[in-house]
Amino acid sequence: MKPHVPTALLRSVLYVPGSNPKTLAKAPTLDADGLILDLEDSVAPEAKLQARHNILEFLQATGADHRQTRVVRINGTQTELWRDDLITTLPGKPAAILLSKVESPASLAGPAALLDQLEPIHDASCGLWAMIETPLGVLNALAIAQHPRVTCLVMGTSDLTRALAIPGDPQRIGLRHALQQTLLAARAAGVRILDGVFVQLRDPQGFLDECHDGARLGFDGKTLIHPSQIAPANQTFLPSPEEAALARRILETWNAARSRGEEICVVDGQLVERLHADQAAQRLARWEQAQKSDQNP
């Protein structure tokens, strides 16, 4: 796997406006697996300078070993803001810098070069997360994911829906190809991938349905805009206790078969080979990781 690629759970990754001190203060107490400390869309132009310093103070207060994965979303590289965003916040040692509307590896060149210069100065190690939210970004998703700095792709489904000129659809039929192509790119490149936000805060069932859809597709987790969305996301992007128990039975039976020199076995009527044992091991490890995380907030 690439350097910097997070191994921590990313079931729930919450956007937190850098201009809102109260929200920043509350964020470390939440059960979100990750935080995106935002300097872009959620911050008014006149508040961006103060937001940089708020985020730096937050990063320094929580520390690089904080249980939550901490990511800073900087302003777009087409603006004059992104460079100072990165320079100001990197001393706080975020896990990654999130870039919006990444459409090709060329979009990553400036931030990657600046990180190369600054990391040794601040003893930092920082990846790049790339938002895929345009048609060109989807078409170039594999090349973007293969960039040596990129450790995670983030779907920008709201902007992508608008760019594709498709109506909002609970089944996300119009987004299907884009979601699957980007996920394939992430898996081929060995990076993580997060589903986009759900903006209808008064529709908890719709949010839960979209979480289940993202989990079935294979996303690692979902980006969120409100703390009320954390618990459903944490629960959905995780094997159920029944699935974990089945995985444990598969591993136990497989290991017993291997001790007899056999390469196949049967568990609950299912033929199990090495491939299935490896999948069960991954599923069980993810479930056990979540149990430790949720018991030690």
* pLDDT tens-digit series, residues 70-97: 999 999 999 999 999 999 999 999 999 9
In a domain, 1, yes or no: no
Band of pLDDT at residue 269, cut at 50, 70 and 90? confident
Question: CATH code at 23?
Answer: 3.20.20.60
- 31 & 99 share domain: yes
Band of pLDDT at residue 295, cut at 50, 70 and 90? low
**Spatial CB neighbours of 89, under 8 Å, sequence gap ≥ 6:** 37, 39, 52, 55, 56, 59, 72, 74
Q: Phi first, then psi: give them for residue 279, nearest 5 degrees.
A: -65, -40
Band of pLDDT at residue 252, cut at 50, 70 and 90? confident
With beta carbons less than 8 A apart as the criterion, state whether 201 and 192 touch: no
- 153 & 41 share domain: yes
> For residue 264, which amino acid is it?
I
- 118 & 151 share domain: yes
CA angle at 155 for the pair 152 and 207, rounded to the nearest 5°: 120
* pLDDT tens-digit series, residues 196-237: 999 999 999 999 999 999 999 999 999 999 999 999 999 999
Q: What pLDDT is stored for residue 115 in this prediction?
A: 97
- 49 & 119 share domain: yes
- 83 & 198 share domain: yes
pLDDT higher at 58 or 253? 58
* pLDDT tens-digit series, residues 17-27: 999 999 999 99
In a domain, 35, yes or no: yes
Find the range with the poorest average confidence among 109-118, 157-166, 167-176, 237-246. Answer: 237-246
Give, for 21, the enclosing helix (H) or strand (E): helix 21-26
Q: How many domains does the chain have?
A: 2
Q: Phi first, then psi: give them for residue 97, nearest 5 degrees.
A: -110, 130
How far from 61 is each of 66, 93, 246, 254, CA to CA, in Å? Answer: 9, 11, 41, 47
Name the pTM for this structure: 0.92
CB-based burial label for 31 (10 Å; 0-12, 13-18, 19+): middle
Q: What pLDDT is stored for residue 290 in this prediction?
A: 79
For residue 82, the number of C-alpha atoms closer than 13 Å in the C-beta half-sphere is 20
| Full residue range of the structural domain in which residue 52 is found | 12-236
- 232 & 278 share domain: no
- 172 & 40 share domain: yes
Domain boundary among 190, 207, 236: 236
Residue 1 has pLDDT above 60, yes or no: no
Residue 297 has pLDDT above 80, yes or no: no
Residue 29 has pLDDT above 60, yes or no: yes
